[in-house]
Structure 1
């Protein structure tokens, strides 16, 4: 344990309230994710920075956030907090159209929302690979099991049963992801298609981190040059690691239907969703998130998908 006292602390003034749950909740892979934890109105986040492991604690203030950090990556994480909570996101030019009243209302209610960036590509890519072609519950379980076995305890008071950070873990390193045996992936419910994609990506981790700072099209091309990574996976990574406000989740089983239902009253396919979103080019992921914050989704007309009990799983189109 690094100790109970933070190794770095800072108050980050942004001139606006920061909706931490809307921003950091997008990085949490299910309620039992050992790398992210909500504590009241604040959040704990365990990650691997270029300077080493860190446990970051964020608490909202009236016009910004307070950040505390433990571990070798503490200073890096503290310096990166403004980008993490969306300080570099520019919503100018985003104007909901009058024919889309739910989006007008979403901006009114959640106008302080910004698209954040972690600046950590593999951290976003590894769980996205696990989430391809399966339900969220399956993917979250796999990430939790693999992180429990191959991650490490996060720095800070994570071994103190009285601490809110008790039991939090770091995600596996690129080197560890690349060496996870195929049978261990299978034991976590991850068939070869997904595990092979993740292992290949882990071997290219250094090159992937160099995509930071590039424009969206270049990042998308670099990510999709890897076998097994398609438009959906690329978008999921760019949303989180690069803070790409345009990277909507094309190819997702639910997202396109949800957006079109909210904006047109009909649950339509991705081609139709792309057309509906065209006036918001540059802000299409912002639209997705604002509508999600409103809780708008089509009514269910069928039972939820059942979880498979065997592998490999049936493909449902996400890659």
Structure 2
């Protein structure tokens, strides 16, 4: 085991910062212990690793295991939003004032690991979350590897890019993922080194969207997590525009309307949508929910 203590200049809410890297309640790469500590696995440039993150008296403590332990501890401040510059952000809508005060520890962290963000984002394209999360669990349980160290039972590390490229089509089908998503993930796995070497989020956006099957929404989801981009808005999300419109105006909006409402937050538009989500304001549900599909054969 290796460990590190890091005291940020500003308050940090560990749960809010690391929460976006969790994909469903049974995500094999993410657990929260009864003591509040968060466990997370990652395939680092040095190999697989397990990280335990906790907060005590304004200091973040990291404990890490496996070949990737040193890398995980070295990048701990980035994961916890240490590079996130919030100085240019100001609240422009009264509805956000209280939630901004309550969640001063919100930061947009970055992992630097593209495949860990890209695979679940592609699985989540145009389907309900539970359908995508089911596929994510199945794939990691079959093709991932056990988490190093004393990680909670069932935790897994995402496969290497080469493994994603070689998963047979029948296995994708068993997971519940459609062939088009399997092809998108396999193609991206050939380009992961170039994607992770991008020097800016804008460059990463250009590289990601040059790949077949990756559009504005998927690119934004990846850049939020892997690059810590506070301005990457998930345009095309099934719910987001409606929630933003309702919270800020009392009426649902479409994507162009959402972007007009978020214009005063340029540079921090993703941050603004996270805060809007924390208000809990949602438009009244109307119509049937999207069904959870299951076309697998066993």
Q: Deviations over 1:61-103 (max 9, x none)?
A: 2323110000111111001000001010001111111xx2121
1:284 shift after superposition? 0.5
Aligned to 2:21: 27
Secondary structure, counterpart of 1:25 in structure 2: helix
CA contact (8 A) 2:11 2:104 kept: no
SS in 2 for 1:44: strand
Shift of 1:296: 2.4
Unaligned runs of 5+ in 1: 1-5, 159-164, 312-319
Given that residues 161 and 192 in structure 2 are in contact (C-alpha distance below 8 angstroms), is that contact kept between their aligned partners in structure 1?
Answer: yes
Q: Distance in 1 between matches of 2:76 and 2:283?
A: 35
Corresponding residue pairs, total = 295
Q: Paired residue for 1:206?
A: 193
Uncovered stretches (5+) of structure 2, i.e. residues with no partner: none
2:118 match = 125
Q: Tell me the alpha carbon deviations over residues 155-190 of structure 1, each in whole angstroms, 9 at most, x when there is no partner.
A: 0024xxxxxx12211011111011001111111111
1:102 matched to 2:89: no
Deviations 1:229-285 (A, max 9, x none): 000000000000000000011110001111111111111100100110011110011
Larger deviation: 241-250 or 32-41?
A: 32-41
Partners of 1:242 and 1:188 lie apart in 2 by 28
The answer on whether the counterparts of 1:267 and 1:298 sit within 8 Å (CA) in structure 2 is yes
Partner of 1:175 in structure 2?
Answer: 162
> TM-score of the superposition, structure 2-length normalised?
0.96
Give the SS at the match of 1:37.
strand
Q: State how 1:144-159 maps to structure 2 within 5 Å.
A: 144-158=137-151
Match of 1:187 in 2: 174
- The corresponding residue for 1:161 is none
Structure 1 residue 80 corresponds to structure 2 residue 67: no
Q: TM-score, normalised by structure 1?
A: 0.90
Equivalent runs, 1:61-72 vs 2, <5 Å: 61-72=56-67
RMSD (CA atoms): 1.2
Aligned partners of 1:114, 1:68: CA distance in 2, in Å? Answer: 21
- Output the CA distance in 2 between the equivalents of 1:106 and 1:62: 22
* Cα distance in 1 for residues equivalent to 2:31 and 2:76: 17
SS at match of 1:26: helix
Partner secondary structure for residue 229 of structure 2: coil
Displacement after TM superposition at 1:56 (Å): 0.1
